[in-house]
A and B are shown apart, each in its own frame.
Chain A
Amino acid sequence: DAGITQSPRHKVTETGTPVTLRCHQTENHRYMYWYRQDPGHGLRLIHYSYGVKDTDKGEVSDGYSVSRSKTEDFLLTLESATSSQTSVYFCAIDGGQGGYEQYFGPGTRLTVT
């Protein structure tokens, strides 16, 4: 999976608790992304980063925050998890020099009860 790891791979949490998902890359690529995947919706962009401490919102950013203090790490935080945030979360990185495509991590399955 292109030098991208995600942790944890599975998590069950209760409504109202904070949750942080981690994405780590070894490719030294500039852009990193967080998506969620839900049946019938494909992949939807939550937040993305274009450099250390540089982040921006995607189409479904409400209820999520991100941080990037190092090139290799991109954290996604659910400040107060809700059942609607039960989903599979994928991290991705850009394609590198001249590459418009993205490469994906293995995903984190999050269940909010």
Chain B
Amino acid sequence: AQSVAQPEDQVNVAEGNPLTVKCTYSVSGNPYLFWYVQYPNRGLQFLLKYITGDNLVKGSYGFEAEFNKSQTSFHLKKPSALVSDSALYFCALYSSASKIIFGSGTRLSIRP
């Protein structure tokens, strides 16, 4: 069965420090993976995707994600966190028939 997991409900980082939000997946075949961000009272915004190619994917707002097939992971990263990065982050996995499976979300809190 296909699934995606975000093992941390909350991640706390000081402003200026690097951040990582973790995601692991389970799928037969090649995975198509995504990261979304949700700010309070807003819809989900697409950040980046991995379909094929380079394992390091760059996205919006300075975020990047590293695909690791051997560890079945797709962690979201940013070299230097901003307070404005505080939000809810979702990892997602393309399923069949144009459907996407979402993780349960990780709340990222950046302290000044």
Contact = CB atoms under 8 A, between A and B. Distances in A.
Interface stretch (B14-22, B62-70, B71-79, B101-109): B101-109
A104 B36 CA distance: 10
Contacts of B42: 106-107
B43 A101 contact: no
Interface in B22-44: 32, 34, 36, 41-44
A94 B32 CA distance: 14
Interface in A71-94: 90, 92, 94
Nearest to A31: B98
Contacts of A60: none
A64 interface: no
Contacts of B98: 31, 48, 50, 94, 100
A104 B32 CA distance: 18
Which of A41, A50, A100 has its CB near the most chain B CB atoms (within 10 A)?
A100
A33 B92 CA distance: 15
Interface string B38-70: 000111111001010000000000000000000
A103 B42 CA distance: 12
A44 B42 CA distance: 17
A2 B90 CA distance: 18
A105 B51 contact: no
A90 B45 CA distance: 12
Nearest to A1: B43
Contacts of B41: 107
Interface in A53-79: 56, 58
Interface of B: 32, 34, 36, 41-46, 49, 51, 90, 94, 97-100, 102-105
Given A42-B104, A101-B49, 17 more contacts: A31-B98, A44-B102, A45-B99, A90-B44, A92-B44, A94-B98, A100-B32, A100-B100, A101-B46, A102-B100, A104-B36, A104-B45, A105-B43, A106-B42, A106-B43, A107-B41, A107-B43
Which 5 A-B pairs give the minimum distances between C-beta atoms?
A104-B43, A43-B102, A42-B104, A42-B102, A104-B44
